C-alpha cells in the first residue's frame, strides 16, 4: 500500500497540477478531472478535507463504504487508510490537503486534533444542505483565490483563518445532522441502552468484563468517536460515561444483594483499583458505596 509523505508526492503521482505550496494542496474536481488516482489503496502523512459527489464507484476509509449518491464532506486524518474503486465524479467538488507543518505556530496546529469528525467513518460523512454547501464553497473559494494569487507574508494566515472557519462550520453542521439523525432513526441512547442491557443480562459481562466503546459502536454500526459525539449531543454524556452509569447500576445490585465488601464488589466488577470505583460510584450516585448500602440497612 502506497504512503504519500508529502503533498507534492501525491500530486505528482496522480498527475495533478503542481501544488502552489508544498504544505498545502488546493484542487477542484475540474482540475483533477483527467487525473484519476493511480493507487486504489493508500495513506497520507497529512490531513484531507473534501467535498464529494460520485456518479459511480466506491470510496472507503476506515472500514466502511461511501454512499456516492449523496454529496457530502469527508475528513481524513494522517495515516488513515483510503481505498477507492472506479470513482467517477458526478458534480463539482474540491480536495484540500493540509500538512501539519503548514499550521505550525498557529492555534489550529493543536486545535485541528480536537475535531472528532476526523475519526469518523465514511458512512458518517457530513451531508450538507444547499445553504450549508454555499457557505463551505464560499470559504473554499477564498482559500483558492489566495492560494493562486502570488502568495505573500499574509497569505498563510489568511488561508489558515478560512480553513479554521471550514472546520468550525463543519462542527456546527454535524450538530444539525446529529439532531436530524435522531429524529429519523430514533434516539441513539435508547438503542445504546438496549445493547448494554442485553450485554449484562446474557452473561457477557461476567465472561468478558465491561464492554468497550468500540464494542458498543460496532453493535450500532457506528465509529467509536461518532457514537460518543452523538450521545453527547443527545444526553450530554459520552459513550464511556453511559457505560460507567450501567456499571454503577450493576454495583447497586451487588451492594444490595450480597455481603461483599466494597473492595470485593469493585474487583467483581472488573476494577483493579477499589478507590477509583468508589470515586466513580460517588460521582454518579452522590454517595459512596458504603453510604449507599448503609442507607438501606438503617
Q: What is the pLDDT of residues 2-39, one digit of tens each?
A: 899 999 999 998 888 899 999 999 998 887 766 566 66
Q: What's the burial of 169, exposed, middle or buried (CB within 10 Å: 0-12/13-18/19+)?
A: middle
For the chain, domain boundaries: 2-184, 188-297
The C-alpha cell that represents 146 in the structure block: 489566495
CATH class of 2-184: mainly beta
Query: What is the tens place of the pLDDT at every residue in 131-166?
Result: 999 999 999 999 999 999 888 899 999 999 999 999
- Contact in structure between 189 and 84 (CB atoms under 8 Å): no
Interatomic CA distance for residues 211 and 208, integer angstroms: 8
Provide the pLDDT for residue 168: 97
DSSP state, residue 4: E
| Contact call for residues 61 and 54 (beta carbons, < 8 A) | no
Angle at 216 between CA 231 and CA 194, to 5 degrees: 75
Beta strands in 141-237 (DSSP E): none
Least confident of 148-152, 185-189, 291-295: 185-189
What's the CATH code, domain 188-297?
A: 1.10.10.60
The pLDDT assigned to 141 comes to: 96
pLDDT digits (tens, 9 = 90+) for 217-243: 999 888 898 888 888 887 888 888 888
pTM above 0.75, yes or no: no
**Same topology between domain 2-184 and domain 188-297:** no
Rounded CA separation 13/4 (Å):
9
CA distance 274 to 285: 16
Least Cα distance to 289 among 270, 262, 254, 260 occurs for 262
- What gap in Å lies between CA 285 and CA 288, rounded to an integer? 8
In angstroms, rounded to a whole number, what is the distance separating the alpha carbons of residues 93 and 28? 6
The answer to whether 188 and 231 are in contact (CB under 8 A) is yes
Amino acid at each position: 500500500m502506497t504512503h504519500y509523505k508529502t503533498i507534492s508526492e501525491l500530486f505528482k503521482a496522480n498527475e495533478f497540477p503542481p501544488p502552489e505550496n508544498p504544505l498545502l494542496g488546493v484542487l477542484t474536481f475540474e482540475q483533477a478531472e483527467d487525473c484519476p488516482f493511480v493507487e486504489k489503496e493508500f495513506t497520507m502523512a497529512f490531513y484531507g478535507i473534501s467535498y464529494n459527489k460520485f456518479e459511480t464507484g466506491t470510496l472507503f476509509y476506515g472500514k466502511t463504504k461511501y454512499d456516492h449518491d449523496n454529496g457530502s464532506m469527508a475528513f481524513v486524518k494522517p495515516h488513515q487508510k483510503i481505498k477507492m474503486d472506479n470513482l467517477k465524479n458526478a458534480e463539482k467538488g474540491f480536495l484540500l490537503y493540509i500538512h501539519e507543518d503548514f499550521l505550525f505556530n498557529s492555534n489550529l496546529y493543536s486545535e485541528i486534533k480536537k475535531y472528532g469528525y476526523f475519526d469518523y467513518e465514511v458512512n458518517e460523512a457530513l451531508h450538507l444542505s444547499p445553504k450549508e454547501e454555499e457557505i463551505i464553497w464560499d470559504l473554499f473559494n477564498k482559500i483558492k483565490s489566495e492560494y493562486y494569487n502570488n502568495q505573500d507574508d499574509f497569505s498563510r494566515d489568511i488561508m489558515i483563518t478560512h480553513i479554521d472557519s471550514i472546520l468550525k462550520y463543519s462542527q456546527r453542521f454535524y450538530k444539525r445532522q446529529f439532531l436530524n439523525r435522531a429524529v429519523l432513526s430514533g434516539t441513539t441512547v435508547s438503542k445504546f441502552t438496549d445493547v448494554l442491557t442485553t450485554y449484562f443480562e446474557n452473561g457477557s459481562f461476567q465472561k468478558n468484563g465491561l464492554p468497550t466503546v468500540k464494542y458498543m459502536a460496532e453493535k450500532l454500526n457506528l465509529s467509536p468517536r461518532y457514537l460518543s459525539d452523538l450521545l453527547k449531543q443527545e444526553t450530554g454524556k459520552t459513550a464511556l460515561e453511559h457505560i460507567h452509569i450501567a456499571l454503577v447500576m450493576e454495583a447497586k445490585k451487588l451492594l444490595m444483594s450480597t455481603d461483599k465488601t466494597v473492595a470485593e464488589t469493585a474487583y467483581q466488577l472488573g476494577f483493579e483499583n477499589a478507590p477509583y470505583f468508589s470515586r466513580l460510584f460517588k460521582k454518579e450516585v452522590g454517595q459512596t458505596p458504603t453510604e449507599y448500602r448503609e442507607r438501606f440497612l438503617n
